[in-house]
Structure 1
């Protein structure tokens, strides 16, 4: 069969593909810190203003070189263009529904809300610290968790000194909250 008649999947539901954040649970808000919002907006603008025009130019140049079916520059360029367009759609959707929340308004408080950095200890004596951030900005390698994660759900609204219960695959686990910190307000 000719490649011209094969369908490539380029649907909107492809947004949850590798590298993208999971879809938002229905009825929830897309909370995000101002820094996370700025980072995603900067990525979107760089894709639209820098990366996409470069790839379009490369594809246009490659298309003028003749046989497109065996032209690696053309085929790779078209694939990269689809990836960029998919990421642009994803970022646009996420930024449209983002609810920017500044965690510094809670600076000095001991109750856990969005944006808190929480130090806790489990029953085995293992101490950990996590920062509760938005779905699109949390990086587990940096000790950040999404506000919809099980650990964040267990910690939210608790206070310093409280013991919370976390349901894990290994059973119920108790966590004692040692400290709660928020970033200082700008200009403080």
Structure 2
């Protein structure tokens, strides 16, 4: 991450990384010394949130707090009390996102590669279980997991079982529910779409579903 984006907000001795990143898994889940692999779409979503907080929401809330503070008794001033609370939340979130982005390594699934038949980060894989049931998953970063879309983390048990395999291989999945043999049917490398952050994401959803407006 460019250091131009790492301006530190005011300190908060009660910073709680897990609270700030409640929607994201902890960095401790990464293998020691590992980079935070992420697709371009996932990186953009985190960066868009970071920039929104730094350049838009935080200045707006700061202005509101300053205005409220000038209006007299702060102990009963709802705008002031809420604003200060929200500023603490924003600062925690900014620190959390800064840590995520600082160790991010963007990997484009659609980029050309020497071996497109083997499974690595960014692959979209179709496999079948012993019952013949097929499933397609895309291997993404820990900040991009979306089970409804079949997006699984590259450090998940399933991804670990699939990585380095090829079409036609049979791999063994060791999961909490037991052991299962999976046959690799197809391996593809293509762009993996991600939900956009905030207002941009809502606008895109409205464009896809004009009847919802």
TM-score normalised by length of structure 2 = 0.75
SS at match of 1:54: helix
Shift in Å, 1:34: 2.2
Change (3 A) 1:71 1:16: closer
CA distance in 2, matches of 1:85, 1:136: 19
3-state SS of 1:123 partner = coil
Within 5 A, what are the aligned runs for 1:143-162? 143-162=150-169
Q: Does 1:182 pair with 2:189? A: yes
CA distance in 2, matches of 1:49, 1:138: 27
Aligned residues of 2:21 and 2:96 also touching (Cα < 8 A): no
Alignment-derived partner of residue 27 in structure 2: 23
**1:95-134 to 2 correspondence within 5 Å?**
95-103=101-109, 104-106=111-113, 109-134=116-141
Distance 1:63 1:126, change over 3 A: farther
SS across alignment from 1:106: coil
- Any gaps of 5 or more consecutive residues in structure 1? 1-7
Q: Distance in 2 between matches of 1:177 and 1:137?
A: 23
**What is the TM-score when the length of structure 1 is the normalising length?**
0.84
Q: Report the number of matched residues.
A: 177
Change (3 A) 1:16 1:127: farther
Is the 1:165–1:174 Cα contact (8 Å) retained in structure 2? yes
Asked whether the 8 Å contact 2:117–2:187 carries over to 1, the reply is yes
8 Å Cα contact 1:117/1:129 also seen in 2: yes
**Change over 3 Å in CA distance of 1:118–1:107 after alignment to 2:** farther
The Cα offsets for residues 90-127 of structure 1, whole Å up to 9 and x where unpaired, read as 11111111112222223882210110111111123322
The answer to whether the Cα contact below 8 Å between 2:171 and 2:182 also exists between their aligned partners in 1 is yes
Runs of at least 5 residues in structure 2 that lack an aligned partner in the other structure: 1-11, 192-213
- Range that drifts further, 141-150 or 32-41: 32-41
Q: Deviation of residue 152 (structure 1)? A: 0.8
- The alpha-carbon distance between structure 1 residues 75 and 107, as it changes in their structure 2 partners (threshold 3 A), is farther
Cα RMSD, aligned residues only? 2.2
For residues 1-188 of structure 1, the aligned pairs below 5 Å read: 10-14=14-18, 17-24=21-28, 25=30, 26-103=32-109, 104-106=111-113, 109-183=116-190
